[in-house]
């Protein structure tokens, strides 16, 4: 219980955040959340419809989870701010994932517009979790803008290509005082464990779980991988060496018996 992740005044025991897009059925979501142990679940506001429960993805998120609307579909800071305000007015709380994308091919976030939206919403009391392309100077500006965390991508969203930005993420972990959460691109539980071993605070996973043959089993695997990676990080992994070092003495044993 001592290793808690604190964001926006909330204490979290799970360091796996879940996305809710791409599931073959919204009815899978409660079982996926339970299997993963996740406490934070993000949803696109355009998929929240309070009037029609069957179409309202938020209705499938367990009540004890933190519902985090994202600004998917926003192409500039003004649109992102408007979506965040609508989400709060709809009863979705004050957590928001800022996602501003103008690149239609690789779906890379617009860091400049993200900084602007973060500053506006943080000043209004939102707990802002900005999704960004990993860049140290941008991360520092997000800190100054009032972000609660910094969320660099691991690789292009939905690609399942893994932690391709590893060295850039490592720099953010070393230099930024806020929690670093890897968002987008993580495709395997082993990659989630690798990210956690680097010292990131959490990972957000959607596609890798939602498109698995058995999403519930994959969610369970990711939950265990994140926990294992975090435990490994806290345990202090041994040094990586360029040469071999024997675990036991190699000289003298047989000669001493003659």
Catalytic residues: 97
Q: Are strands 5-7 and 151-152 parallel, antiparallel or unpaired?
A: unpaired
Q: Decide if 90 contacts 50 (C-beta within 8 A).
A: yes
Query: What b/e string do you get for 149-171 counting C-beta neighbours within 10 Å, with b at 16 or more?
Result: bbbbbbbbbbbbebbebbebbbb
Q: Counting beta carbons within 10 angstroms of the beta carbon of residue 6, is it exposed (0 to 12), middle (13 to 18) or buried (19 or more)?
A: exposed
Nearest alpha-carbon partner for 58 in 20, 12, 10, 18: 20
Give phi and psi for 182, each to the nearest 5: -75, 125
* Tokens describing residue 134: 């990993």
């Amino acid at each position: 219980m001592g290793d808690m992740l604190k964001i926006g005044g909330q204490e979290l025991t799970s360091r796996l955040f879940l996305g809710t897009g791409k599931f073959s059925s919204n009815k899978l979501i409660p079982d996926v959340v339970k299997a993963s142990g996740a406490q934070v679940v993000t949803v696109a506001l355009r998929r929240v419809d309070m009037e029609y429960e069957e179409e309202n993805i938020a209705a499938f998120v367990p009540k004890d989870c933190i519902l985090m609307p994202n600004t998917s579909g926003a192409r500039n800071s003004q649109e992102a701010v408007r979506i965040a305000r609508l989400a709060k007015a709809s009863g979705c709380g004050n957590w928001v994932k800022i996602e501003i994308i103008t690149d239609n091919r690789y779906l890379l976030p617009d860091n400049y517009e993200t900084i602007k939206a973060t500053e506006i919403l943080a000043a209004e009391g939102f707990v802002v979790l900005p999704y960004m392309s990993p860049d140290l100077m941008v991360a520092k500006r997000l800190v100054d803008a009032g972000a609660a965390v910094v969320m660099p991508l691991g690789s292009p969203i939905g690609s399942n290509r893994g932690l391709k930005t590893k060295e850039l993420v490592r720099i953010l972990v070393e230099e930024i005082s806020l929690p670093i959460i890897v968002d987008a691109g993580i495709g395997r539980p082993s990659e989630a464990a690798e990210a956690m071993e680097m010292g990131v605070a959490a990972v957000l996973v959607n596609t890798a779980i939602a498109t698995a043959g058995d999403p519930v089993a994959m969610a369970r695997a990711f939950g265990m991988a994140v926990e294992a990676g975090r435990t490994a990080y806290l345990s202090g992994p041994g040094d990586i060496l360029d040469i071999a070092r024997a675990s036991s003495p190699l000289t003298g044993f047989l000669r001493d018996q003659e």
